[in-house]
Chains A and B, each alone.
Chain A
């Protein structure tokens, strides 16, 4: 490419592994980027995409080394620059937007100081000029109160706002090239769509050249002109976005695409009359001291009720802070509920774990989100799985070994892994061990809290398949907590939507594909990115107030609801309404009104 802004050739990056050997983590990567173009680097964790992105700034993480290749930015050969010259390039000509803005902002400095810092370091503008530029960027990125947000500290704004503020931080010195490293991965779908829209507008207005790093094909489809597919540090396929999405040539790209749109598993072949394993009524729970009526100071869940039948899976979905994880903690007994009742099979389940019988403890098992923190790093797999086998079933010696072998078989892991430490396993293997640890108790109900969210799409899909099989084989009841609508719909017979701790919708998994929905479910459905370019532009911007309503209105969703009725929705609690498709929602609107007022998104979920 003659007019290329960026040209990368034969890039090699090496790293030192735990044994002190040098391994190549990026091998012979080369591409060119024209001015104004957006290029996506896509791949799973360990594919080298972040390493490549960082090397464009001449930066290698501690332990890594850029071993060879050329990176030509305009007239500058980045890899031959001295440390001082590199400092001059970073932030001024190439800027970086990190994955987690919450971690990348310094907690003890004001936002404005950090946003304009690059301009101050490089002297591209005076403080006053930089600040007015920053305010312009805040406005372009649709941030609330653009004149005042800079005076706050990072902990005083939301995650989605921080992510946009970081984009402003990157653009402040008007760099030639912006690198966006998974900038929306840590966000809820409803927030992600706003941030994506803000990014896209700014990139388009300013004609920014960008490298967009992501594992999410649907997100990349909205942002990128061209896509490079990476695996194990090597380029597998490169092409314009529509070509990669519609006619992927490489089998790995095809598998990524297949995993990106999980197909619903075969619907549960369970008899409708299967007895409920868990029945929850009027569950209210929260943190802080309880008042006279037993209401906690900070209520997280309000009046939630549901049941899970033997062999069935209940999906729980909602954005961060809606109370999903708290629900798992309450059912597990870690956080005793303030009000309500729980029944496990025929018997009442005490709210406090300390008052549950050993048998009740055995019957309800929790699978933690992150296997990395849930598995003791200094215990072998056999010890991790053997401990609950001994605790709950008194298994020792040969019986214990037999149980461990059986558990590994259940989660489709080779027996040879029994003597390994968690650190020696891959992410997917660790999550399987984590699952096996819960299964060791031979529970009736497992509570899975975001068990696939830390995994790559393909690995996560395999875990979901496994859970589906186990459910059928063992007749396990599952509560499956996730923020990902696709995942929940794919594995669950029933789906419960939580918003601000209230159950706004409960219905069969199949009913989730049919309008009408509760207005919040509708927003969730509409926010899941689709695997086609142009989806972002076609999707109407949701009405989202940035500042949460100061006073609690009767319907928690009122401030964000596109079909709210002022004077009713903010005054009276919404009634429970049964829909024709078999779901129940909490809403003042009639079914016909919802159908008419919320545009049909039926195609969204096919």
Chain B
């Protein structure tokens, strides 16, 4: 009965996630259709005859009504076929397939570095709140969060690649065959991305934990003789899992779609860059598929955080 209630809640969340994804697909399709310009016109150039443009429109299926094109497109997505690129005729799935692993690798490397770092800094700042350390962390994170990432990335290139010559300014993913090389390739992109997301996570972790440290049950634990480590680890943290998981999910969701600047500066072959290229060439199937991937990743992360919060809360787990 209890298990069922929990299961029902989880299933309901998942169903809601799928529904959101469906609505997102509708929005993505509608918005990309609204984008100014006509793909056929764009491809054939200004000099094309109206007949040629009309013929291409017919060939691309652009003459069909919107809802039909949407259903076609959605059906294709579900079966794994995101259509063909309007620019070079290659399957979109193949284009994305070539780039997505790179993006995921960068995101994973950044997450592996940033999440433990941010949690450690956030938790320690909350434990020693009000001290010089806490104020220092507060100031540092605020300053870092307000520096634009292109500045961080450019500065990193200047320092590590141009002056010190430790690292290469460009990231050639194909040339990785050892750990050392992996670090050399990823150090600067990961550093730049960490600067953006660590600060956010630190601030939110600290706030969530301090919120719990003010609770009466923490005072009670102190009055039972619990030391600071026990107070934080066994009393405050279990209650802060929900908000912290949400902060982490929000920050990580940035790592797929929001990394265009970093990808550009380091010439990293990721998916964000692919999407921007798609926009500039009016390659709608590509743009739509990329947008769907970003939205799905975002929904997945938020959903995971939600499930984390549900499972960490005994009031939801045992009713």
List residues of chain A with CB under 8 Å of any chain B CB.
54, 57, 59, 61, 87-92, 95-96, 98, 100, 103-109, 117-118, 121-122, 152-153, 155-156, 169
Residues of chain A with a CB closer than 8 A to B234's CB: 109
B239 adjacent to A107 (CB under 8 Å)? yes
Q: How far is the CB of B17 from chain A (nearest CB, A)?
A: 25
A89: contacting residue among B216, B222, B225, B230, CB under 8 A? B225
A59: contacting residue among B217, B222, B315, CB under 8 A? B222
B224 adjacent to A156 (CB under 8 Å)? no
* Interface flags, B210-221, vs A, CB<8A=1, else 0: 000001110111
Q: What would 27 A/B residue contacts be, using CB atoms closer than 8 Å? A: A59-B223, A61-B219, A87-B227, A90-B223, A91-B225, A91-B226, A92-B225, A95-B224, A96-B220, A98-B216, A98-B219, A100-B216, A105-B217, A106-B221, A106-B235, A106-B239, A107-B217, A107-B315, A108-B238, A108-B314, A109-B238, A117-B224, A121-B224, A121-B225, A121-B227, A153-B318, A155-B315
B225 adjacent to A108 (CB under 8 Å)? no
Residues of chain A with a CB closer than 8 A to B239's CB: 106-108
Residues of chain B with a CB closer than 8 A to A59's CB: 222-223
List residues of chain B with CB under 8 Å of any chain A CB.
215-217, 219-227, 230, 234-235, 238-239, 312-315, 318
Q: How far is the CB of B268 from chain A (nearest CB, A)?
A: 41
12 more A-B contacts (CB under 8 A) besides A108-B239, A153-B314, A153-B318? A87-B225, A88-B225, A89-B225, A90-B223, A95-B224, A98-B220, A103-B215, A105-B217, A106-B239, A121-B227, A121-B230, A152-B318
Please report the C-alpha to C-alpha distance between residue A89 and residue B217 in the assembled complex, in whole angstroms: 19
A118 adjacent to B215 (CB under 8 Å)? no
Please report the C-alpha to C-alpha distance between residue A427 and residue B314 in the assembled complex, in whole angstroms: 36
Please report the C-alpha to C-alpha distance between residue A89 and residue B313 in the assembled complex, in whole angstroms: 32
Residues of chain A with a CB closer than 8 A to B312's CB: 108
Q: How far is the CB of B228 from chain A (nearest CB, A)?
A: 9
Instruction: Please give me the residue from chain B that is nearest to A179 by CB atom.
Output: B223
Q: How far is the CB of A596 from chain B (nearest CB, A)?
A: 44
B225 adjacent to A107 (CB under 8 Å)? no
A108: contacting residue among B220, B230, B313, CB under 8 A? B313
Q: Given contacts A108-B313, A108-B314, A153-B318, is CB(A96)–CB(B223) below 8 Å?
A: yes
Q: Given contacts A87-B225, A118-B224, is CB(A104)–CB(B216) below 8 Å?
A: yes
Q: How far is the CB of A82 from chain B (nearest CB, A)?
A: 13
Please report the C-alpha to C-alpha distance between residue A565 and residue B227 in the assembled complex, in whole angstroms: 55
Please report the C-alpha to C-alpha distance between residue A92 and residue B226 in the assembled complex, in whole angstroms: 11
Q: How far is the CB of B262 from chain A (nearest CB, A)?
A: 38
Q: Given contacts A107-B314, A156-B318, is CB(A90)–CB(B225) below 8 Å?
A: yes
Q: How far is the CB of B319 from chain A (nearest CB, A)?
A: 8
Residues of chain B with a CB closer than 8 A to A153's CB: 314-315, 318
Q: How far is the CB of B248 from chain A (nearest CB, A)?
A: 18
Instruction: Please give me the residue from chain B that is nearest to A172 by CB atom.
Output: B224
Please report the C-alpha to C-alpha distance between residue A54 and residue B220 in the assembled complex, in whole angstroms: 11
Residues of chain B with a CB closer than 8 A to A90's CB: 222-225
Q: How far is the CB of A550 from chain B (nearest CB, A)?
A: 13
Instruction: Please give me the residue from chain A that is nearest to B230 by CB atom.
Output: A121
8 residue pairs, one from A and one from B, having the closest CB atoms: A91-B225, A91-B224, A103-B216, A90-B225, A104-B220, A153-B314, A108-B238, A106-B217
Please report the C-alpha to C-alpha distance between residue A98 and residue B224 in the assembled complex, in whole angstroms: 11
Q: How far is the CB of A120 from chain B (nearest CB, A)?
A: 9
Please report the C-alpha to C-alpha distance between residue A122 and residue B230 in the assembled complex, in whole angstroms: 13
Please report the C-alpha to C-alpha distance between residue A169 and residue B221 in the assembled complex, in whole angstroms: 11
Q: Given contacts A106-B217, A108-B238, A109-B234, is CB(A57)–CB(B223) below 8 Å?
A: yes
Please report the C-alpha to C-alpha distance between residue A90 and residue B312 in the assembled complex, in whole angstroms: 29
Please report the C-alpha to C-alpha distance between residue A106 and residue B241 in the assembled complex, in whole angstroms: 14
